[in-house]
Amino acid sequence: MREFLEFIIRELIEFPDDMVLTEIPNGRTITFKLQLRRGDVGRVIGRSGQTIHAIRALLASSAARHGQRALLEIVE
């Protein structure tokens, strides 16, 4: 899941080398914390939050296939 998430986000942002993705497991739930440059946050969120909503839906689907639950948080 982590590699999948990194691939999607790296393709969207302007400065992929500055991206920090932290994985925090907690039982059957995995929380991913994403740190980006301020300008890249808007690219990931998208217009009216459509892009982040789609990324979270893909992540939830991928996690469900592994019998887990996954959350994505953007940390500023």
User: Considering its fold, how many domains does the chain have in total?
Assistant: 1
Confidence of residue 10 (pLDDT cuts 50, 70, 90): very high
- Alpha-carbon separation of residue 3 from 8, 9, 47, 59 (angstroms): 9, 10, 25, 11
Model pLDDT for residues 27-51, shown as the tens digit of each residue: 999 999 999 999 999 999 999 999 9
CATH of the domain at 61: 3.30.300.20
Backbone conformation region of residue 35, classed left if phi is above 0, alpha if psi is from -120 to 50, else beta: beta
Give every strand in the sheet of 69-75, ordered side by side. 20-26, 29-35, 69-75
Which residue range is the domain that position 69 belongs to? 2-75
Whole-structure pTM value? 0.89
